[in-house]
């Protein structure tokens, strides 16, 4: 962690260092602190996908207890979307747009 902190002392806008610090904190179970570093990375690089993903994943343990539960819920959600798609025939982009707003 100290190397990333030194990097930020030299270059406070270096998004990768914020992202890496967030990842270390997430691995240590310090999720709120991790999110704060991911947010800093996004402040300097708003379209940087890794801190967006890290921020999202840091919030999941509050909802799900483990990775297997997350994967099972994702698969169930995906299967339900497929069923929905198969049962609602939408023919035009306008119909799809209207359905998405419901």
* Per-residue pLDDT tens digits of the chain, which is 102 residues long: 889 999 999 999 999 999 999 999 999 989 899 999 999 999 999 888 889 888 888 877 667 777 788 888 888 877 777 776 776 676 676 776 666 665
**Alpha-carbon separation of residue 24 from 31, 68, 69, 78, 100 (angstroms):** 10, 22, 23, 30, 38
| Overall pTM surpassing 0.85 (yes/no) | no
Is the Cβ–Cβ distance between 51 and 19 less than 8 Å?
yes
Q: What is the pLDDT of residue 71?
A: 84
Is the Cβ–Cβ distance between 50 and 34 less than 8 Å?
no
């Amino acid at each position: 962690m100290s190397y990333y902190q030194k990097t930020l002392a030299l270059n406070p806008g270096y998004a990768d260092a914020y992202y890496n610090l967030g990842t270390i904190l997430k691995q240590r179970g310090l999720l709120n602190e991790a999110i704060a570093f991911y947010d800093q990375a996004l402040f300097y690089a708003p379209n940087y996908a890794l801190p967006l993903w890290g921020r999202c994943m840091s919030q999941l343990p509050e909802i799900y207890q483990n990775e297997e539960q997350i994967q099972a819920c994702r698969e169930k959600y995906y299967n339900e979307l497929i069923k929905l798609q198969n049962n609602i025939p939408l023919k035009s982009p306008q119909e799809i747009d209207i359905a998405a707003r419901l």
